Structure 1
């Protein structure tokens, strides 16, 4: 049966879609914050040269690429997408704070590396949960729904960190706030786990 226009609006009725949308808001907001502002942080707040900042940023992108597939594999292996989502956000909560707290440059590079791995580690599992619960028929619509909130998160986070930098003169409080938002994401992942378990229970009974 073809998917109708009304099917897109019906997604708003499902609480699990709102939880996924909230996590997507956080996911892409955090990702955009790091990708957009990391070079500025390294140069302005840490005093690194543009060449060094560029190298560290490039290293981060190199690590982020394969992490998408690794996160998807881990989720499939464990058969527990919310666990991968929550664990990734917990790591990002730590790295977001450590990014502006550690003094040692080698430790800073390590934090950036770990952060880069987990930025998109839960990308696949997060998009999979709505399809798993609501069915493959709404795969395209659910992805579009979630991406809408993801892009709103990117807009909000990128702008907010710039405002914090201009107001406070440093990125410290901006990334501390990012860490707190990631903690909220961990809580949402817990809610998502309960919703998923309840939704799939009849099928497995």
Structure 2
């Protein structure tokens, strides 16, 4: 009996929810907590800064610490995913990043010099970045295995939009907890949620071929539609089921890093993430220090752009797949929403032209909506990555993209301290919307890369 026949034994086609949608719901939920963890300091930052005595520049470095390690760890994270598969690597990643998040709650419980407190949180944020590094490449790997090409745009848009939903959901909660009980309890809550999700992932997740809930009809829909169902096939299984992996040697690196389409993805993803990191680091601080809002108000105000970013992210993915179904080329279906969205994102610069807090929040909301629509980098990566090194390529893209998480918080920290306002910082962030257009131009036609034999 073949692997699929044995896996499909006893399954019924039924009218129940397809398993791939439940898989997507699970990685969406994990990604929501993932982004809540990495953005937790943006909401609690003012309170942490006040209690522990951080300067503005020190806070900027602490904000950037996550991305230093996140970028460096992308390539080894991708190698681990290609070697061991998403199920095991994701589980360990989730457990470790949750433990580090929980540890932040203990910093400063005993009277601690400022430099030691800054260093401790900086190191913990470094570890958080390292341990979270496989998460998005793993999401892309799961989407590549579980979804046919015609559904992959919306699938990647949904898990990518979790970053906005995380802020919309958790910003008010974290603001309220910080206001009522103190910032430490935010990290305790995130620790409990993370460990619960790790247990669920290990108990329920499997490959499309081996998952007991997948019907034969669903398996056929995925595999015939371009889903790489054996991407995470176990090495101990049927040799024909194991996805061929490219050797990571000089020839492989040369083919990956000489691909024009990938360089276009790297540039555009860097630009998209520059806006992301403004919103998950300095935006709440801007509302407190630049606009005079209270911390409790910030928790709710920060949710507005996030909700629109969430809606924009879903719209971009669904619009892209709809264009594919209507006969547009893959290149047009991915690039048209991306270009439109990033043009909208540049509207953040208009905040410098008004003193109205209500109008500023509206412009930020429009910019974040546009950034959501234009965030199709993960869909494009799953469309063009060679199957033999899909996670390595995804990790490379994520490394380039998240370099923005190093640059953006530090640049903003220095400019705010030097100028005493956020004006220059907002122009800097808005310019990345135009940089994304350069990346889309460099990208050229979107099609699957195949290594030379």
Deviates more, 1:54-63 or 1:19-28: 54-63
- Which whole-Å deviations, capped at 9, do the CAs of 1:119-153 have from their partners, x for residues lacking one? 33333x22222442354444322211110011211
Query: Which runs of structure 2 are paired with 1:183-194 in the superposition (5 Å)?
Result: 183-192=434-443
Q: In the alignment, does 2:346 pair up with 1:72?
A: no
- In structure 2, the partner of 1:93 is 346
Task: Give yes or no for the alignment of 1:54 onto 2:305.
Answer: no
Separation of aligned partners in 2, 1:67 and 1:181: 18
Matches within 5 A, 1:125-136: 125-136=376-387
Deviations 1:132-179 (A, max 9, x none): 235444432221111001121111011111111011111101111221
Count of residue pairs the alignment pairs up: 195
Give me the TM-score of the superposition, normalised by structure 1: 0.84
Structure with greater proportional helix content: 1
Other-structure match for 1:5:
248
Q: Max radius of gyration: which structure?
A: 2
Aligned to 1:63: 308
CA contact (8 A) 1:64 1:117 kept: yes
The equivalent of 1:172 in structure 2 is 423
- Name the structure 2 match of 1:157: 408
Aligned match of 1:23: 268
**Runs of 5+ in structure 2 lacking a partner?**
1-243, 325-332, 449-453
Report 1 or 2 for greater relative contact order, CA contacts < 8 Å, sequence distance ≥ 6: 1
The structure 1 residue matched to 2:393, chosen from 135, 142, 148, is 142
2:289 aligned with 1:40: no
Name the counterpart of 1:181.
Answer: 432
1:96-134 Cα distance to aligned partner (Å, 9 max, x none): 2023322222222211222232333333x2222244235
Q: Distance in 1 between matches of 2:353 and 2:298?
A: 17
Contact 2:263 2:439 in 1 (8 A): no
Q: Could you say what the CA RMSD is over the residues aligned between the two structures, in angstroms?
A: 2.2
| Cα pair 2:271 2:404 within 8 Å, conserved | yes
Task: Tell me the distance in 1 between the aligned counterparts of 2:378 and 2:312.
Answer: 15
TM-score of the pair, normalised by structure 2:
0.40
